[in-house]
Amino acid sequence: MSSVTVGRVIAAPIDRVWAVFTDISAAADRIAGINSVEVLSEPAFGPGFRWRETRTVFGRSASEEMWVTDLEAPRFYEVAAASHGTEYLSRYTFAPVEGGTRVSLTFSGTPVSATAKVMGRLTGWIADGQVGKMLQKDLDDLVAVCERAVGEGDPGDR
């Protein structure tokens, strides 16, 4: 797999967008594609913060442990995961723009096992398309939370 990038402008201030995107414990309530989230570490969101996320992918339940590797609030954060011989990295970037905040998410996978390298060559183009659609849907779900009654609060806010 190469990398896939999705993004858009959110009609909400950067502080609200950052708060929504980094509230991992609320992700299953906000993102339709996530079945559950189990926070595995404390304290607050930052480098080393870990969680297990469960989704239904291609009709099967899949759980992955993820962790924050780098962060500069409220400009960006990076999340890593490793599964089935592939290392994954997601980078979320945030920038204030006229009328709100521009958010960009780049997701990449690097095969490290021989099996993952072969499978990547055979099916990588299919996976890239599906991953892009999934990431865009996740982003759209979070945009809706960020833009919902800005200033009035969100019942899902914690």
Q: Give 70-109 pLDDT, tens digit per residue.
A: 999 999 999 999 876 678 899 999 999 999 999 999 998 7
Whether residue 84 lies inside any domain: the answer is: yes
CA 111 distance to own-chain centroid: 19
Is 156 contained in some domain?
no
List, in sequence order, every residue forming a beta bridge with 74; answer none if it has no partner.
none
In this predicted structure, the answer to whether residue 61 has a pLDDT above a threshold of 60 is: yes
The domain total for the chain is 1
Distance (Å, whole) CA 90 – CA 68: 9
**Any idea what DSSP says for residue 154?**
-
Q: What is the CATH number of the domain that holds 94?
A: 3.30.530.20
How far apart, in whole angstroms, are the C-alpha atoms of residue 131 and residue 135? Answer: 6
**pLDDT grade, residue 157 (50/70/90)?**
very low
Q: Which domain holds residue 77?
A: 3-147
Per-residue confidence (pLDDT) for residue 155, from 0 to 100? 45
The amino acid at residue 98 is E
Residue 34 lies in a domain: yes
pTM: 0.84
Tokens found for residue 9: 């402008």
Supply the pLDDT for residue 8.
Answer: 95
Amino acid 55: pLDDT? 92
Let me know if residue 153 belongs to a domain. Answer: no
